[in-house]
Structure formats: structure tokens, C-alpha cells
Structure 1
Amino acid sequence: MTREIELLWGLREPGRRGPKPKLNREGVVRAAVAVADAEGLEGVSMQRVARELGYTTMSLYRHVDSKEDLLVLMVDAAMAQDPPEPRADGDWRAGIQAWVSGCREMYRRHPWVVFAAVFGPPLGPNGLRWMEAGLRELVGAGLTTADAVQVLMTVSGVVRDTCRIELDMRRA
């Protein structure tokens, strides 16, 4: 987990030699997200992303250590849209409904995310912003932080699985 946190927060960059590269990690992730949006997760490979960028596969490894690391970064990048703002009226139900709608929009914009492996709560900056937004509404409703985390993980899982089922049904 520490490795993923370092990766997502830019605390660990692969070593570099030679002149400053024209390609950067953000560009690699952006290209990989575009490939996944067009072709699904199965279309994403280091070779395919490199070809999309006009670079060799090996050049990507200067910016991302592995495909697994790339997928972690892609999922967080897919969540870059801002979560709903806090509700001024304190209506936590409407706040959670807006949060769920925002999640569904993200899954519809980037459907491959529902097929990406998830192992626990979000660790990256974008995922944490979304988690914080949902927790804010639930804690505002009177739940303890621990209960709010459990409820939010359950709601998040239901939204994700529902979107995955919708996709599967459309494919069938």
C-alpha cells in the first residue's frame, strides 16, 4: 500500500538519465485513459499506449514502472472531475444522491473503471476527494466516522456493481 500511495501522490518517480524527456507521467496516463475509454481495459497495454503516443514501449517505463502501476494511476485520473460541493441546506440525502449521480457519471464516462481491480478505499488525491465528499454528507447526517466509512463503501460498491451490470447487459 505504501508503494501505491507514493505512486499516486508523485512521491516516487522512476530514475531518469539523459536529457529531460518530452513525455511525462501525466501524458502516459492521459493516453492510457483514452485507450481504455475507446477500447476497454483489455485494450490497454504498455505497447498499445506507447504506440498511441508515438514512443517505444521501453520509453514508458521511464515514467511508469509497470502496467499495474499504470492502472492505479488511470483509475485515480478517471476520478479527476470534482465531487459535488457541500450542501448549504444540510440535506444529507440530497447530498448523497448528488454524490451517487456523480459516481455514475464517472463510470459512464469511463466504463472500464468498473472492471478495474479495487482493493480497499481510494488512496490517490482524486479518489480521496470523492470519498471525503461522501463522508461529509454521512457524518453531517449524524453517523460516526467509522459508520460513515462503512456506509459509503457499501453505497460505492452498489453503484459500481450496478453500473457494471448495466454494461454487461448492454454488451449481451
Structure 2
Amino acid sequence: MTEKNAPPYLRIAAELRRRIAEGELAPGDRVPSTRQIAKEWNVALATATKVLTTLRQEGLVRAQPRVGTVVADAPERLPHPPRPPRAAAAPAASDGELTRERVVRAAVDIADAEGLAALSMRGVAARLGVAAMSPYRYVNSKDDLVFLMADAVLAEAHYPADAPSHWRPRLEAGARSLWAVHRAHPWLAQVTPLTRPLALPHLIAYSEWMLGALDGHGLTPATMFNLNVLIYSYVQGTAVHLEREAQAAGATGMSEDQWMESQAAAFDALVASGAYPTFAKVTGSFDDGGYELRLDEVFELGLTSMLDGLTALIDG
């Protein structure tokens, strides 16, 4: 088989392999995402997923949560791109050992690295090396798969074996555990609106923990549930920006710092206009490094403020 006649995923993989071998893409550099590959080479997302899977299996790239797929730290430097195999491509691997858990895990890995928008059933099949329709034997649809993914990652939440006796440390533990799950899996905040909760065992387990903290303080059932929803929505609402930043970086090709640099002149003009004196005073008080948004700090400040506000309601 000549390189010209090789399957599209092999031709694209060869080009990315060349860029890595010749140093155009250095260790730690982001390689094109599945969406970027699909757009640049006009191929399906499943084909793009197969490209990254091929390079990952060769040890040339790795998935980095919240960043995407990057060049591995010590990739094997190839003197030139290898030629496509001369023999016919081997058939897809048998799915005899495929399980629902493997399908879900593969889907989570794709969403962690590329975002939820890059997820497709064909892409999951390509990552697992099975026939395109094989995952449908274990999940009915992509929507069902996403729900299973959500429950799987929510299972990573950890609650102290000995529940704190006081309501506040218990609520803090639950909120921070949920925040840690969203930090590890930014796509989770995009799964469903707050008004359409999912009947997932591990989501109910989270609510059980939080409601347990609120129980026995004279609150009405509606107030207890409203507070549970309030804290959950705060975590979700803050976490949604993790995935949005990754999407913006992929769409614009600019990092957060590069974006801010591109907006610097516009911000300076607004500050210099004199129309926003308090904004100008606050921003002008920062050192040369300027203000750096750290979502973890914002999360902790908001959580502390929220729980301070609940003290009068619960302990009053």
C-alpha cells in the first residue's frame, strides 16, 4: 500500500509524527484536537480520534486533562515518518472482551482530553479498536453514555468515613469533593441543566451527604433541598468555566494569557476614559503581573462566604 493510498487516519498520523520528529511540536506542546484535525483534513471525528489513538499507542502523545492531547515528555524521535504498512490493514479487534465499563472509561478519557463536544460513539469505538457499532451493544445511545460517564466520575467523590458532627465541615467536605470531581473532569458541568437533574446513584449519594448535614436543624424540607441545590449550583456554575476555557482555547488557538494580551489595549482605553474610576483604581493597584484569575481561590472565597451566610439561618 502506498502512502497516497493509505487510510486517511494513517496519512494524518504520519504528518503529525513528522512534526514531532522534526521538532515542530515539542514535548508538552498541544497537538491538534480531534475537532481541529477533522476541520483541517476534512475527516470525520471518528477518524480524527483514531489518529490520536494511533499516536498515543506509539507513545508519542498523551492526554492531559483540561489541556488536551500533548506531545509526550520523551517521545521517540523518528528520523522520518514511517511508511504505511504494505499489507492490508488488519480487521478491527474483536469486541469479545468489551464491557460497558470499558466503553464508559474510553468515553471519559476522550471527554477529559478533548471535551464533551468531541465525544462520539464512533470515536469511542475507534479508541477501543472495535467495530463502529460495537459500543451500542452496551449503551443505547450517546445520551445514555454521557449519563453513565457522569455517574462513573461522580463515584470518585470521597466523603469522610466519620461524618463531621457539625453541619459546616460536612457541607465543606461535600462541596470540595464535588469541586475536585469537576476539576478532574471539566466536561461534567456541561452535562445537564440544573433544572433537569439526573437520577444517578452517585449524584443521589452526594445529595444524601449534604442533606444529612442539614437535617435536624429545624429547617423545612423545601429549605433543606433548596440549600442542597444552591451549593450544587455554585460548584457547577464555577466549574463550567473550566470547560469553556478549554473550548475557547481550541477555537481561537490562543492561551488564556495570549487572549488577555490581545485585549490589553481595549482594557487600557476603558480605564483611561475616566468613566470607570473604581475599576481603574482597583486594577491600577495590582503589581506589574496584573490580576490573575484563579478559579480555586474564587471557589474557596465563594464557599466560605456562602456558609458564613447560612450560619444565621441554621444556628440562629
Q: TM bucket by the smaller chain? A: 0.7 to 0.9
In structure 1, C-alpha distance between the alignment counterparts of 2:242 and 2:137, rounded to whole Å: 37
1:103 corresponds to which letter in structure 2?
Answer: L
Instruction: State whether residues 90 and 140 of structure 1, in contact with CA within 8 Å, keep that contact through their aligned partners in structure 2.
Output: no
In structure 1, C-alpha distance between the alignment counterparts of 2:110 and 2:245, rounded to whole Å: 22
In structure 2, C-alpha distance between the alignment counterparts of 1:29 and 1:132, rounded to whole Å: 25
In structure 1, C-alpha distance between the alignment counterparts of 2:211 and 2:152, rounded to whole Å: 21
Going from structure 1 to structure 2, the CA distance change for 1:121 and 1:85 (only over 3 Å counts) comes to farther
Superposed displacement of residue 82, structure 1: 3.9
The number of equivalent residue pairs is: 153
Superposed displacement of residue 54, structure 1: 0.6
Unaligned ranges ≥5, structure 1: 1-19
Superposed displacement of residue 152, structure 1: 0.6
Greater Rg over alpha carbons, structure: 2
In structure 1, C-alpha distance between the alignment counterparts of 2:190 and 2:163, rounded to whole Å: 35
Instruction: State whether residues 106 and 128 of structure 2, in contact with CA within 8 Å, keep that contact through their aligned partners in structure 1.
Output: yes
Question: Is 1:108 paired with 2:147?
Answer: no
2:137 corresponds to which letter in structure 1?
Answer: R
Superposed displacement of residue 57, structure 1: 1.7
Superposed displacement of residue 143, structure 1: 2.5
Instruction: State whether residues 86 and 133 of structure 1, in contact with CA within 8 Å, keep that contact through their aligned partners in structure 2.
Output: no
In structure 1, C-alpha distance between the alignment counterparts of 2:137 and 2:245, rounded to whole Å: 39
> Could you tell me which residue of structure 2 aligns to residue 128 of structure 1?
204
Superposed displacement of residue 84, structure 1: 1.6
* 3-state DSSP of counterpart to 1:57: coil
Identity of aligned residues (%): 36
Alignment of 1:12-161 (within 5 A): 21-85=96-160, 88-118=163-193, 119-161=195-237
Instruction: State whether residues 29 and 70 of structure 1, in contact with CA within 8 Å, keep that contact through their aligned partners in structure 2.
Output: yes
Superposed displacement of residue 169, structure 1: 5.3
The CA deviation string for residues 88-147 of structure 1, in whole angstroms up to 9 with x for no partner, is 552111111111111110000000101112453341221111111111111144423332
In structure 2, C-alpha distance between the alignment counterparts of 1:35 and 1:166, rounded to whole Å: 16
In structure 1, C-alpha distance between the alignment counterparts of 2:123 and 2:215, rounded to whole Å: 43
> Could you tell me which residue of structure 2 aligns to residue 12 of structure 1?
none
TM-score (norm 2): 0.45
Instruction: State whether residues 87 and 95 of structure 1, in contact with CA within 8 Å, keep that contact through their aligned partners in structure 2.
Output: no
Instruction: State whether residues 78 and 106 of structure 1, in contact with CA within 8 Å, keep that contact through their aligned partners in structure 2.
Output: yes
* 3-state DSSP of counterpart to 1:165: helix
Query: Higher relative contact order by CA 8 Å / sep ≥ 6: 1 or 2?
Result: 1
Instruction: State whether residues 135 and 145 of structure 1, in contact with CA within 8 Å, keep that contact through their aligned partners in structure 2.
Output: no
Going from structure 1 to structure 2, the CA distance change for 1:86 and 1:132 (only over 3 Å counts) comes to farther
Q: Which has the higher helix share?
A: 1
